[in-house]
Amino acid sequence: MSTWALIGLSIALLIAGFNIGYDCRHKKLFFNRKYKYWICCYYCVDGVGSIGGWAFTFTSKMTSTQLKAFREQQIENLKNEFKTTDVRFVIIDFKRLKD
């Protein structure tokens, strides 16, 4: 192999290594990616309502089934926390936060 071909191959491998490193670090292709969402909601416990917003981390992008499961889980958490069955929980808005 000529010297110039070897130098060109080395530079190409160096650039490819930086591209793979960037993908692993920023896009997280090879690792578990976490998605952060800001969820605004209205909840009512025993007739007293309040609006709140929280940041939650999920392991995949939000789907309607995940949103329904999240809502049911929050209702159960409020029932257990306030020891009541009169709980309403409505999701007003949610948006994905930047990584």
pLDDT tens for residues 8-46?
A: 777 876 777 666 666 665 555 556 677 889 999 999 998
User: Is there a single domain that holds both residue 39 and residue 21?
Assistant: no
Average pLDDT rounded to a whole number, residues 66-93: 91
User: Is there a single domain that holds both residue 46 and residue 91?
Assistant: yes
Write the DSSP symbol of residue 98: P
Amino acid at the residue 58: F
User: Is there a single domain that holds both residue 45 and residue 9?
Assistant: no
Cα 44-49-54 angle, rounded to 5 deg: 80
Percent of the chain whose pLDDT exceeds 90: 29
User: Is there a single domain that holds both residue 9 and residue 50?
Assistant: no
* Average pLDDT in the chain: 82
User: Is there a single domain that holds both residue 22 and residue 69?
Assistant: no
Question: Rounded CA gap, 43 and 79, in Å?
Answer: 11
- The pLDDT, as a whole number, for residue 42 is 94
Res 66 pLDDT > 80: yes
Residue whose token pair is 């090879």: 30
pTM of the model: 0.63
User: Is there a single domain that holds both residue 45 and residue 87?
Assistant: yes
Using only C-alpha atoms, what is the Rg of the chain?
Answer: 24
- The pLDDT, as a whole number, for residue 41 is 92
Task: Using pLDDT thresholds of 50, 70 and 90, give the confidence band for residue 88.
Answer: very high
Residue 23 structural domain: 1-31
User: Is there a single domain that holds both residue 27 and residue 62?
Assistant: no
User: Is there a single domain that holds both residue 87 and residue 51?
Assistant: yes
User: Is there a single domain that holds both residue 47 and residue 27?
Assistant: no
User: Is there a single domain that holds both residue 4 and residue 42?
Assistant: no
- The pLDDT, as a whole number, for residue 27 is 59
- What domain count does the chain have? 2
